[in-house]
Amino acid sequence: MKIGILGGSFNPIHVGHVRAAIEVLERLGLNRVELVPAKQPPHKEGADILPFALRMELVDRAIEGIPGLGSNPLEGDRPGPSFTCDTLHCYREEQPQSEITFILGASTFLNLPSWRRGLEIPSMASLAVVNRWEAADKVAGFIETQWPEAVRETDDFWTFPGGRTVRVLDIPRLDIKGGHIRRRWLERRSLRYLVPPGVEALLDERADEVAAYWGSRA
């Protein structure tokens, strides 16, 4: 089984997340991509993070009916911050026969030195680096500096000792940010084509709960 993992705060999930999952699923020929909401995002502390259960429900609404996409609530059962190294460890324990690919944007990839055990992540899973354009030209140099043992097979593909890989995937540009969506929701502006229809509907259905974290609507 070839499984992709796309983690994030998903506060809320938007079409950029979903499109990235579909692109990696298709481009790498994976069996499944699982979206994994962080219960306590270590790099995004703040009072405006929706409860885990609600973000999980938003994810399920977003991917409903899309073949090959699924969700995984494993972070909800773990105490403390949701560190990627711990998530990957859980996957390796629960699915030792699966080939795991961790999905992240290029700008996030360049920040791996600031993560807990971030520079060890290529030893835990293969990586699919989704091209975020503004950081694309820095990825190759970063890999050469941080992991000199990596072998560059093509312009966008590296292999590591042990068989894991890093691939850079150029996907359609959807420059959508969660903060912009939260602001639009607070201003009662349309979220059409920014979030899947089920996500916008659920945000409105649970408006009182959402407003308790994002603020009062106009």
- Per residue in 147-161, pLDDT (tens digit) is 999 999 999 999 999
- Residue 75: per-residue pLDDT: 92
Residue keyed to tokens 């990839």? 109
CA neighbor of 136 nearest in space, from 173, 91, 84? 173
Average pLDDT, the chain: 93
Residue with tokens 């068989």: 163
The torsion defined by the Cα of 143, 149, 155 and 157, in degrees rounded to 10, comes to: -90
In a domain, 112, yes or no: yes
Residue 143 lies in a domain: yes
Looking at residue 163, what DSSP letter applies?
Answer: S
State the pLDDT at residue 137: 78
pLDDT one-digit tens code per residue, 92-143: 999 999 999 999 999 999 999 999 999 999 999 999 999 866 677 799 999 9
In b/e form, how buried is each residue of 103-116, taking b as 16+ CB within 10 angstroms? bbbbbbbbebeebe
Instruction: Encode pLDDT of 55-83 as tens digits.
Output: 999 999 999 999 999 999 999 888 878 89
Residue 187 in any domain: the answer is no
CB 146 within 8 A of CB 121: no
Q: What is the pLDDT of residues 157-210, one digit of tens each?
A: 999 999 999 999 999 988 899 999 999 999 999 999 999 999 999 999 999 999
- Is residue 99 situated within a structural domain? yes
Tell me, what's the pLDDT at 188? 97
Instruction: Tell me, yes or no, whether 137 lies in a domain.
Output: yes
Domain at 30, CATH number: 3.40.50.620
Residue 104 falls within a domain, yes or no? yes
The pLDDT assigned to 78 comes to 81
**Count of the separate structural domains present in the chain:** 1
Judge whether 205 lies within some domain.
no
Where in the sequence is the domain holding 55, given as residue range(s)? 2-175
Confidence of residue 40 (pLDDT cuts 50, 70, 90): confident
Residue 129 resides in a domain: yes
- DSSP string across 34-102: EEEE-SS-TT--STTPPPHHHHHHHHHHHHTT-TTEEE--GGGGS-S---HHHHHHHHHHH-TTSEEEE
Check residue 79 and give its pLDDT. 81
- Do the Cβ atoms of 24 and 4 come closer than 8 Å? yes
pLDDT higher at 48 or 79: 48
pLDDT at residue 132, as a whole number: 67
